[in-house]
Amino acid sequence: MSLKDRASQKVKEIQESIVNALEKVDGNSFHTDTWKREGGGGGRTCVISDGNIIEKGGVNFSEVYGTLSEEFSKQLPGSGLEFYATGVSLVLHPRNPRVPTVHANFRYIQRGEAGWFGGGADLTPYVLYPEDAQHFHQVWKSVCDRHHPEYHSRFKKWCDEYFFLKHREEARGVGGIFFDYLDEDPDKTFDFWADAGDHFLESYLPIVERRVGESSTESERQFQLIRRGRYVEFNLVYDRGTVFGLKTGGRIESILMSLPPVVHFPYDPQVEPESPEARLLEVLREPRDWV
């Protein structure tokens, strides 16, 4: 089996396992939408809206191929204009502000004869619980350490730098891991990439189960909606997956499934000094080592 076929099969498996687990936790079913891309390929988008726990979430599989534009091809490794890409991408926006938003993506891209893996996961809390951030990071450190002693420090730093809103001078959340253009030993890299995808649920579901029963305040909800606005800003300005999808003629509904359902953009919002919101912002402006 070719590397791209192995990658495609794996991300389908990851999507299926995550959707099944989330349906059990939320108690509601995902809406499944199978689509085809003009120019080659297609995908399967699974979306949940107005769930018991998840206010909006999506777990998207795609496998697309075709011809790159001359302009966009200059931004990618490899040669020629023919490309292939497959991956699973998810974003979950919980209703309760005590439960963090989470994003994960695992992809394989090929241009000409050059192929590489990318992906990662990051956590966006609205109320900071250090033990939740520690759990999330520990799972990813364990995954990385099984495959290379330098992976975690390298990918944690990459995540902190990537999920950073330069115009706000703050991170989107408390990070995780991020990697791209991994093209070393194909089999070993595939094993790491697949292992990471298989451990998303372990990194996130224990946090959901710990926080979902907690009561929240209206001020916490309003802060959550403001912070969701930062999420929108990142995805529309900086996110590579969004740019890749738009530049390669991807399906708009699937590309923009990551955007939250309700967002507030008040003018110049302020937080009280020494408040929980202020403490979270301190962390977002200065990334920390959580493990």
Q: Which of 34-48, 66-80, 84-98, 251-265 has the lowest mean pLDDT?
A: 66-80
Within 13 Å of residue 57, how many CA atoms lie on the same side as its CB?
27
pLDDT at 50: 96
Helices within the chain (DSSP H only): 3-26, 70-73, 130-145, 151-162, 186-198, 200-211, 218-237, 240-247, 252-255, 276-285
pLDDT at 194: 98
- Residue 38 above 90 pLDDT? no
Which helix (H) or strand (E) segment holds residue 32: the answer is strand 31-36
- Confidence grade of residue 27 (pLDDT, cut at 50, 70, 90): very high
Task: Kindly state the greatest CA–CA separation across the chain.
Answer: 58
Considering the entire predicted model, what is its pTM?
Answer: 0.93
118 CB burial (10 A radius; 0-12, 13-18, 19+): buried
Structure tokens at 1: 């089996």
Tens digits of residue pLDDT in 193-244: 999 999 999 999 999 999 999 999 999 999 999 999 999 999 899 988 788 7
Tens digits of residue pLDDT in 186-201: 999 999 999 999 999 9
Specify whether the CB–CB gap between 215 and 153 falls below 8 A. Answer: no
What are the residues facing 283 on neighbouring strands? none
Q: For strands 164-165 and 170-171, give the pairing.
A: antiparallel
Q: What is the C-alpha to C-alpha distance for residues 226 and 51, in angstroms, rounded to an integer?
A: 21
Phi-psi region of 7 (alpha: psi -120 to 50; beta: other; left: phi over 0): alpha
pLDDT at 173: 97
In the chain, pLDDT over 70 holds for what percent of residues? 98
- Residue 54 above 90 pLDDT? yes
Distance from the first to the final alpha carbon of the chain: 38
Chain centre to alpha carbon of residue 154: 18
Q: What is the C-alpha to C-alpha distance for residues 140 and 138, in angstroms, rounded to an integer?
A: 5
Catalytic, 147? Answer: no
Q: Which candidate in 31, 93, 103, 199 is catalytic? A: 103
pLDDT at 82: 82
Specify whether the CB–CB gap between 93 and 228 falls below 8 A. Answer: yes
For every residue of 146-206, which 3-state class applies, written as one string? CCCCCHHHHHHHHHHHHCEECCCCEECCCEEEEEEEECCCHHHHHHHHHHHHHCHHHHHHH
Q: Which segments of 52-149 are extended strands (E)?
A: 54-67, 82-94, 101-111, 114-124
Tens digits of residue pLDDT in 66-102: 887 777 766 676 667 888 999 999 999 999 999 999 9
Kindly report the average pLDDT of the chain as a whole number: 93
Domains defined for the chain, CATH in brackets: 3-285 (3.40.1500.10)
